[in-house]
Chain A
């Protein structure tokens, strides 16, 4: 069990974030979630800089990435994570509204570990988020790793 490891959720839309958190709350894992509102913030968290300068060291158990975000979008964050030797072992799940083939193709080409289309129907959305966060945040054993990378 990896109870200590946080889940990083990068989601610019506050409503989507709230709904996702509501779903995780039912699983009692919402307190493990770190919410970032754009790609730049997510990168700050991963690289322990900016507002996350003094955070507890260590990579998250999983990163849930929205595709369309201001400043740095999901695909760019994904590219940076997978290009960094210290970060590329972190499981990354794309969580998006887009079912476009080129988004799918590009995400997998960049090394995404999973690609989930947010269901429009709330119950489906709820169960999707629940299952995802349980699997990646609780069931899955994350890779062993050292401390926060210093880029």
Chain B
């Protein structure tokens, strides 16, 4: 862990930026500025993750805007409810005001005339008062100030009505003269004016509250509009960035696809050329060889009797060389064909395959003493003819390179098996090889033994490697001079993709 250079929390950087361990006391290199970290983080992401990050930001933006809009709209709706209540309250107060005026005036007319008809307004107020106060209490709920005024108003109205009731009783008992003064001035003049004042106060309070709410709603609406505009702009920028990312990626992919196609076409052309070449090798190079061998034979037949031993050997060498070159050409053609031949993909039973190969080799095994150990082998996906050639080569090699042993030992088995591949080995107690030449073993026309020791053109193991590579596998070998050799073939247990 590096020494702490500051108390900022350590945020892991991209692997490339990992600071190297440095000696204590050395001047610490200042880490990247804090604000650059998101950019570094973003650059390290794959295109899919970048797009996901972009869309996530857009989504979070939409959530925030929705939440704020919801809150503002709720305030607007609540305010409009309160406004309705205020208007109703103002209307009710003015009704009460009018009713109390009416009650006082008509009551005075009654005091003067004694006509019972004029008592109607007073009676109505007395009747309606509980209803009025029920509404008043409802409409002022949540506002203690107004409730207090409602209580006061209730008292005053009671006093006015009581005063009026008293005056009516006096008029009924003592006639007009008893209430003459009251009829002229009004029984509850003072109470009525207090009622007018309270009602005016309440109205003014309500109107103020209304004005406040109008201002609040307007501010909230402005906020919402500003927020929506900024949000929309940000979303637009984000979406445009994501679009740019995707577009950039698509363009890049298209360019790569075109490039790949172009290279594919070039490869195909090269392959065609190679095919034409090997065809011509196959056909044209073989004819002169045939003629060399043929005419050498004809010559020997024509002048056979008169030739001395040396001349016979020369002619034989000419024939042998032609034959050998023919073999080399054939091997080379097989090798080149192996590279382009279509692969047939089926399941190959290696047990059966090795059994067949041993049967096919039986003529070569005549006069040899070989101790075979064939362990159980698995089934693998692959081309049967190609895999047959692999194991034919390996087993024929084992037979060939043990020919100097009185008792040859050849073992075939599974070396190890993982989920992805199986490693098969072919081991012999033959002449072996020096590990320092191990890398040459699988090369084309590479031989580790002289031709007069062991025959062969040196193409067998090259074919083995090429076939195994085409199956998606690996080959290697271990050996020691005069101590035998082991050849390993690792084959995938799942089908290769092509």
Contacts and interface: CB of A to CB of B under 8 A. Distances in A.
A13 B287 contact: yes
A120 B279 contact: no
Given A16-B290, A118-B290, A122-B296, A100 B322 contact: no
Nearest to B319: A122
B283 A120 contact: no
Given A19-B298, A98-B279, A120-B323, 6 more contacts: A15-B295, A68-B283, A97-B286, A101-B337, A121-B322, A122-B298
Interface hub of B283, B327, B333 (most chain A Cβ within 10 A): B283
B282 interface: yes
Interface of B: 279, 282-284, 286-287, 289-291, 293-298, 319, 322-323, 326-327, 330, 333, 337
A126 B284 CA distance: 20
B279 A19 contact: no
Given A99-B333, A120-B323, A125 B290 contact: yes
B283 A98 contact: yes
Contacts of B296: 122
B287 A122 contact: no
Contact of A122 (B284, B297, B330): B297
Given A13-B287, A16-B291, A22 B326 contact: no
A103 to B, nearest CB: 9
A120 B298 contact: no
A55 interface: no
Given A19-B294, A99-B333, A120 B282 contact: no
Interface hub of A16, A100, A120, A126 (most chain B Cβ within 10 A): A120
A121 B286 contact: no
Given A97-B283, A98-B282, A100-B282, A120 B290 contact: yes
A44 to B, nearest CB: 25
B248 to A, nearest CB: 46
A71 interface: no
B297 A120 contact: no
B322 A120 contact: yes
Q: What are the 7 A-B residue pairs with the smallest beta carbon separation, nearest first?
A: A120-B326, A122-B294, A122-B293, A122-B297, A19-B294, A97-B286, A15-B291
A120 B333 contact: no
A97 B281 CA distance: 10
A123 B337 CA distance: 27
Contacts of A67: 283
A121 B326 contact: yes
A22 B282 contact: no
B314 to A, nearest CB: 16
Contact of B294 (A98, A100, A125): A125
Interface hub of A101, A119, A122, A126 (most chain B Cβ within 10 A): A122
A125 B296 CA distance: 13
A94 to B, nearest CB: 13
A1 to B, nearest CB: 29
A19 B291 contact: yes
A99 B285 CA distance: 13
Contacts of A123: 297
B287 A97 contact: yes
B388 to A, nearest CB: 17
Contacts of A19: 290-291, 294-295, 298
Contacts of B298: 19, 22, 122
A99 B282 contact: yes
A23 to B, nearest CB: 9
Contacts of B326: 120-121
B290 A122 contact: yes
A100 B283 CA distance: 9
A121 B320 CA distance: 9
Interface string A91-105: 000001111110000
Contact of B293 (A22, A100, A120): A120
B303 to A, nearest CB: 15
Interface string A119-151: 111110110000000000000000000000000
Nearest to A13: B287
A107 to B, nearest CB: 14
25 contacts: A13-B287, A15-B287, A15-B291, A15-B294, A19-B290, A19-B294, A19-B295, A68-B283, A97-B282, A97-B283, A97-B286, A97-B287, A98-B279, A98-B282, A99-B330, A100-B282, A101-B337, A118-B286, A120-B290, A120-B326, A120-B327, A121-B293, A122-B294, A122-B298, A125-B290
Contacts of A118: 286, 290
A19 B292 CA distance: 11
A102 to B, nearest CB: 9
A68 B286 CA distance: 13
A96 B287 CA distance: 9
Nearest to A120: B326
Nearest to B293: A122
A19 to B, nearest CB: 4
B390 to A, nearest CB: 20
Nearest to A14: B291
A105 to B, nearest CB: 13
Contacts of A120: 286, 289-290, 293, 322-323, 326-327, 330
A16 B327 CA distance: 19
Contacts of B289: 120
A22 B296 CA distance: 13
A68 B327 CA distance: 22
A112 B391 CA distance: 34
B320 to A, nearest CB: 10
Interface in A12-28: 13, 15-16, 19, 22
